[in-house]
Homo-oligomer: A and B are copies of this chain.
Amino acid sequence: MKSFSKNQLQRYPIYLKYFKSLSDEGVVDISSPKIAKELGYSEEQIRKDLQAVSDEAGRPKKGRNVHKLIETLEGFLGYRDSTTAVIIGCGHLGGALLNYPNFDEMGLSIIAGFDVDSQKIGTMMGGKEIFPLDKLSNLLPRLNAHIAIVTVPVGAAQEVVDTAIASGALAIWNFAPTHINVPSNIVIENVNLASSLAVLSHRLNATLSKEEK
């Protein structure tokens, strides 16, 4: 079994999106140099990435078939079979994710929300019912959701993660800007806006101080 680095995995959805837009334009074949030019990667890297997931070789002088690439990547990324998830914390961010239109095509099916706010409990957000947080340990096993999406305030994050894991969650998608400890057999992926902003700010400052010269 090939292994994939985090960076590499992150590139595949970007390729896929690009190939879909090419397909919409009626493009049939695409070569690595062209992908490289459009997406700003090196062509060697693209070849490596696509070789790692394709079962058939590219053709010299033509490249690869766009339609085939889309099928391959959708299969590889699991967009064809649905994974179920719940959202814990239905504030602004959780609500946005409950309404996020792109998860369906990515094979992610959010089936319920949990919150402590009695105003929200029993209502629907993005077509999904909101349950009381203290029912999480009760409902999670029955819902059979593997992924818990965590969008609670920092102070509550570790606690709800512990509960989710104790109730059978196998993966945590953490949007709270804090470090969370999980057992080694549990998968955790953090979306940390503070980290992303740190990269942006640092580069922006570099740009600004260059201009000052």
Does A58 reach chain B (CB closer than 8 Å)? no
Q: Is the CB of B177 within 8 A of A102?
A: yes
Contact flag A197-B92 (CB < 8 Å), given A17-B177, A179-B38:
no
Does A93 reach chain B (CB closer than 8 Å)? yes
Task: Tell me the nearest residue of chain B to A126, going by C-beta.
Answer: B92
Partner pick for A187 among B9, B12, B103, B207, CB 8 A cutoff: B207
CA–CA, A39 and B10, complex, Å: 23
CA–CA, A16 and B92, complex, Å: 24
Q: Is the CB of B195 within 8 A of A173?
A: no
Q: Is the CB of A17 within 8 A of B194?
A: yes
Binding site for B on A (CB under 8 A): 4, 6, 9-14, 16-18, 21, 38-40, 77-78, 83, 91-93, 95-96, 99-100, 102-103, 106-108, 146-147, 154, 170-171, 173, 177-179, 181, 185, 187, 189, 191-205, 207-208
